Structure formats: structure tokens, C-alpha cells
Amino acid sequence: MIKSIGKLFALAFGQSTAGGQSFHPSQTCTECGTRWMRTNEKPDWHCPNLDCPAQLRARMVHWCRPGVMDIAGGDAPFIAQLVGSGLARDVAELYRIKVAELAALPGMDKDSAQKFFEALTFSQKRDAWRMLYGLDIPLVGPDEAKALCRHFKSVDNVFAASAERLARAGVADAVARSIVHWHSDSVNRKLVKRLFKAGINFKA
């Protein structure tokens, strides 16, 4: 799904994919069956179902990427394995996985499991802006995350601010609205609380 999203702008105008299949806005996600949509925050056609397996995997891969939480080994194939095995369904659950559980996965050994576990542990102390960026909030890139954490001093303070206060911190109005909208969802708020309990650094 991740590769196909980059093509959806062209497909929305009736063009065909490399495989000859055309895209139409009424098309549904092949993984969860939800109809594609686009919004001001996400102008490309995408699956809006936050519980879609493809979205779960994509958010976790983003969290692990270099330049975000920089968790070595957290590439797309391994994250798919974690999700498929039921060990993790979101980024907070990554920090509950035990070394023995990792080592029991097909193709893993104790040394590889230990290295991934240590990478997870080290990521807990990353700069707060990386955590904010890692949440994959629409329109919030590294520059926006850095500016907000620098201004508000903690991720908690960012989420406690109104859209107007966020905009005064130097981000675009659309970014400010996107953050407020994202945090208004109870599932997202619970995720943030679980990340705090997991020991992720929230202070800039």
C-alpha cells in the first residue's frame, strides 16, 4: 500500500497503474475493505481506517525509521512479522515485547532479538521532537516537531495547547489544526499516555 500511495494522485485522474489497473475514488482498501478518501490534512487518496493492518504497519515502520526514533531492525518486513504474530499492533506495544518473544519469531535468534530490544530501549531517551514526529500526525514533519518542542518544552504542553497557541509557535494554521484534531481522538490520547508509561522521553 505504501508504494501505491505515491501513485494515487495520477490514478485519481483516470490513469492506470503499471499493472494496468485504474484507480477510482470509490475503490476500497484491499486489506480492510474501507473506501478510500482524502482530506485537507491528507490530500492524497488513502485508507482512513486507523485499524487497517496496512496503516498499523506503516505507522510502526515510520516510528522506527532513521531520523525518527531510529530503531535499527524495525524495517517493513520485520514490523509485518511483529504485527502478524500479534506481538504489537501500535508503537506503544513495541515497548512491551520481551527478548524471548522476539527470539521465538521465525528467522530470529537470541543475538538479533537482543539487538532489537536494545535499540527499543535506547529509543526511549531520544529527543522529544522525534517522538512527536514519530506519531505520524498529518502535516507534522521534523521541522514542525522541533519548533513545537522548542517552544512548549514538552510533548504534553504541545497537546495541551489550542490551535491558536500552536500557530503562534511558528507552525502553519493547517498544522496546528491537524495536531488538535489528531489529539481529539480518544484512541490517540490513550496511545500518548501509554507511550509516557513506556518511558518515552516527553521533555525537550
> pLDDT for 145-163, tens place per residue?
999 999 999 999 999 999 9
Q: Confidence class of residue 23 from pLDDT cuts 50, 70 and 90?
A: low
Local confidence band at 24 (pLDDT 50, 70, 90 cut-offs) = low
- CB-CB contact of 175 with 139 (8 Å): yes
List own/partner pairs for 53-59 with CB under 8 A and 24 or more apart: 53/83, 54/1, 54/2, 54/29, 56/83, 56/89, 56/90, 57/83, 58/1, 58/2, 58/136, 59/90, 59/91, 59/136
- What is the predicted pLDDT for the residue at 20? 40
Of residues 141 and 1, the one with the higher pLDDT is 141
Question: How large is the average pLDDT for residues 2-18?
Answer: 34
* pLDDT, tens digit (0-9, with 9 covering 90-100), for 80-133: 999 999 999 999 999 999 999 999 999 999 999 999 999 999 999 999 999 999
Identify the pLDDT of residue 10: 33
Q: Is the pLDDT of residue 4 over 60?
A: no
Q: Which CATH class is domain 53-123?
A: mainly alpha
pTM (two decimals): 0.79
Q: What is the pLDDT of residues 181-202, one digit of tens each?
A: 999 999 999 999 999 999 999 9
* CA dist 43 → 12, 48, 91, 134, 168 (Å): 11, 12, 25, 20, 24
Q: CATH 1.10.150.20 residue ranges in the chain? A: 53-123, 128-197
pLDDT value at 172 more than 60? yes
On the question of pLDDT at 36 being above 50, the answer is yes
The answer, yes or no, to whether residue 8 has pLDDT greater than 90, is no
Could you name the CATH architecture of 128-197? Orthogonal Bundle (1.10)
Residue 27 has pLDDT above 60, yes or no: yes
